[in-house]
Amino acid sequence: MTSDFIVGIDLGTTNSLVAYMQGEIPAVIPGEDGLNLVPSVVALDEKNQVVVGNAARKYLIETPERSVYSVKRLMGRGIEDITEELKLFPFHLADDIQAGEVLRIKIGERTYTPPEISALILRQLKRNAERFFGGPVAKAVITVPAYFNDAQRQATKDAGRIAGLDVLRLVNEPTAASLAYGLDKKKNGIVAVYDLGGGTFDISILKLHDGIFEVIATNGDTHLGGDDIDNLLITIALDDIRGDLGLDVRRNGETVARIRKAVIEAKIALSSQASATLDVELPGGKRYQREVPQQAFEQLIQPVIDRTVGPCKQALKDANLKPAQIDEVVLVGGSTRIPKVRQLVQNLFGRVPHTDLNPDEVVALGAAVQATILGGGSEVTKEMLLLDVTPLSLGIEVAGGVTDKIILRNSTIPASATQYYTTQVEGQTNVAIHVLQGERELARDCRSLARFDLKGVPPMPAGMPRIEVKFLIDANGIMQVSAREQRSGKEAQIEVQPSYGLTDEQVESMLLESFDYAEEDFRQRQVIEARREADTILAALVKGKKNDAWRQLTSAERRKVETLEKALVAVKDGDDYHAIRTGIDTLNQGTMRLAELMMDSAVTTALKGKAMDDTGLEEGPQAGHPVAKADFE
Ligand code: ADP
Ligand code: MG
């Protein structure tokens, strides 16, 4: 096997897998233990060595503070996004994480970012493949949920790089599953991919035209899956044990873990048998045994699996389709092995679903197919082009804190779109572009992806500049935003660095395993950027004080602004990022009225017919104001 061999990786919430093309057929590469599935669990053992997968599972019970699972839930997210996850999962976060910072998870004495933990899982998969091939593996295709936003995708790519993998492409999981079934050979039709895994449920609707996949809608529930079924059975067992045997073992971690293991075995058996037995050894030589008939099991889990119906209907609605218009249904995720789930899906879409491939392997198999396409390997697959969609709308903030959507949700990627804006402030030379993701009307309710300034616009009356804002999303779902003032030709652009992403420098340092320094770099950079911002706003205030508007403020208002100004000056050259940030924000808040008055006076002056140059406002406020919606096209 050559070293430029490309593998396909399913980096799952519960389980991860690596696959490759065995000739024309994709196949999963087993681990040293002979098992295909690598549980997405990372722990430190007694000797402080990192262990991953099946070997790490026992530490979840023995030393929970030295282990972590479900880290995919934290990828590319900030502390304020994960309150729900923290309630449901025992993540041990570092104590000092602030809003805007990359999360760090404690494992024993050390802290790791989510991409670093995912990288440990990827490294294990890479090692499995290298042992299998007897040579190095450096290139991979990794799958991500279709609803993953830019930050989550970027974090996944970072994980690949930290693991020493060149990530050629991120592919949406439902797209990979469809590829594994070779549905592209059908040329045309609509495919529904129903994915019920360990802790998450996803439904995706794909459109096939001329053998090309296009994801036209996605929906789901990030807290629904096999774990919910396990918990129902565990609750019953705990009640039985208390009622029948007079034992309360709810706080006995090891016993609960044994019950969990027995329950999962019974659940799996019930997917192919009419009945299963729960059999658990209890403390004090006692024993819990219970027969679970399939029918009782099915009744028990009905409410759980019924929760998948709503998202399916919503996805159909978003895709503007009736169930009868679905041509193919693909099942993904270990929990779709349950016959009752298959039945529900069949009833919902009026189709017998595809079940030939293992539902917990199909995504990795499809990733291997995609890897071969990118490697230019197989003739059959060379023609295939994969299209995905943006799960959420993307846009920018406009005057009044309102969101203006530029690319609508469920748009096919790669995508690009352009909108035109203007300024709202007289003589404005800096234009703030605040990139947002989400469906909500107000910018503060959407997710902030990035901010940047278009600087050096020549002073013009408000409404005169013609600012072209262009969004470009590449095939990996990574976004480039550019802004250009057309009259002057001034432009600025950024690749959207997601709010909770790692910087390139950080990823590099992590590659060298100097994790601690990377964090320090990040903080340093934040401090430097905050200082720069403080300088800008303080300079703007010095200008503002020379304006007539300053004298229109009450003396109390002026005193307050000056107190805030002094406060910011006092902290801005220090190393306390949060102090500088707070100083900037409060001063911004405190000078709002001044900015308004300056704007009014500029308008009045303009109405009096004075030339802009005479207003003393030839340079508008330096802190960038958001753009305003333009009347022109
Ligand atoms: P993820 O995509 O979230 O990583 P998987 O697709 O690997 O997860 O699915 C894992 C879930 O599937 C677990 O809850 C597991 O118990 C469940 N599962 C696996 N096999 C079966 C089976 N035969 N019957 C029922 N559930 C199963
Ligand atoms: Mg999965």
574-595 tens-digit pLDDT: 888 889 989 998 998 888 888 7
DSSP 47-66: TS-EEETHHHHHHHHH-GGG
Which of 69, 305, 337, 360 to probe ligand 1 with, by most ligand atoms within 8 A of CB?
360
Q: What is the 3-state secondary structure (H, E, C) of 513-562?
A: CCHHHHHHHHHHHHHHHHHHHHHHHHHHHHHHHCCHHHHHCCHHHHHHHH
CA dist 584 → 146, 538, 623 (Å): 37, 9, 11
Which of 77-86, 90-99, 110-119, 607-616 is least confident?
Answer: 607-616
Work out which ligand 1 atom sits closest to the CA atom of 332: 6
Closest ligand, as measured to the CA of 146: 2
Give the confidence band of 567 by pLDDT, cuts at 50, 70, 90. Answer: very high
Is CATH 1.20.1270.10 the right assignment for the domain spanning 518-614? Answer: yes
Is the CB–ligand 1 distance for residue 260 below 6 Å? no
pLDDT at residue 605 greater than cutoff 90: no
Which of 101-105, 202-206, 599-603 is least confident?
Answer: 599-603
Is the CB–ligand 1 distance for residue 264 below 6 Å? yes
CA–CA separation, 260 and 279 (whole Å):
11
pLDDT at residue 515 greater than cutoff 50: no
CA–CA separation, 477 and 448 (whole Å):
16
Burial class (CB in 10 A: 0-12, 13-18, 19+), 208: buried
150-205 pLDDT tens trace:
889 989 999 999 998 999 889 999 999 999 999 878 878 999 999 999 999 999 99
User: What do you get for the CA distance between the two ends of the chain, in Å?
Assistant: 56
φ, ψ dihedrals at 372, nearest 5°: -70, -35
Contact 161, 167 (CB under 8 A): yes
Instruction: Please state, rounded to an integer, the average pLDDT across all residues of the chain.
Output: 85
294-336 pLDDT tens trace:
999 999 999 999 999 999 999 999 999 999 999 999 999 999 9
All structural domains of the chain with their residue ranges: 5-224+307-387, 226-306, 394-505, 518-614
DSSP tag of 29: P
Name which CATH class applies to 5-224+307-387: alpha beta
Is the CB–ligand 1 distance for residue 333 below 6 Å? yes
Please compute Rg for the chain using Cα positions: 28
- State the DSSP H helix or E strand holding residue 444, giving kind and residue range, or none if neither: none
Of 235, 174, 239, residue with least CA distance to 204: 174
For a pLDDT cut of 70, what percent of the chain falls above it?
Answer: 86
CA–CA separation, 18 and 37 (whole Å):
9
Which of 132-146, 197-211, 462-476 is least confident?
Answer: 462-476
pLDDT at residue 514 greater than cutoff 80: no
Q: Would you state the pLDDT for residue 464?
A: 80
Task: Answer yes or no: 10 catalytic.
Answer: yes
Of 628, 604, 622, 624, residue with least CA distance to 614: 604
* Coil, strand or helix at 487: coil
- Could you please state the CATH topology (level 3) that the domain comprising 394-505 is classified under: Substrate Binding Domain Of DNAk; Chain A, domain 1 (2.60.34)
- State the DSSP H helix or E strand holding residue 483, giving kind and residue range, or none if neither: strand 479-485
The whole model's pTM is what?
A: 0.68
529-566 pLDDT tens trace:
788 778 878 888 888 888 888 998 999 999 999 999 99
How remote is the CA of residue 15 from the centroid of ligand 2, in Å?
7
pLDDT at residue 381 greater than cutoff 80: no
DSSP tag of 350: T
Tokens linked to 471: 């969004």
Q: Would you state the pLDDT for residue 495?
A: 75
Is the CB–ligand 1 distance for residue 39 below 6 Å? no
Q: In 218-308, which residue ranges form alpha helices assigned H by DSSP?
A: 226-245, 253-270, 294-306
Give the confidence band of 379 by pLDDT, cuts at 50, 70, 90. Answer: very low
> CB neighbours (10 Å) of residue 3?
11
The amino acid occupying position 343 is Q
CA–CA separation, 101 and 104 (whole Å):
9
User: What mean pLDDT is predicted for residues 511-521?
Assistant: 48
Catalytic residue among 130, 150, 158, 195: 195
CATH of 226-306, one of 3.90.640.10, 3.10.580.10, 3.40.50.300, 3.30.465.10: 3.90.640.10
CA–CA separation, 565 and 560 (whole Å):
9
Tokens linked to 409: 């949700």
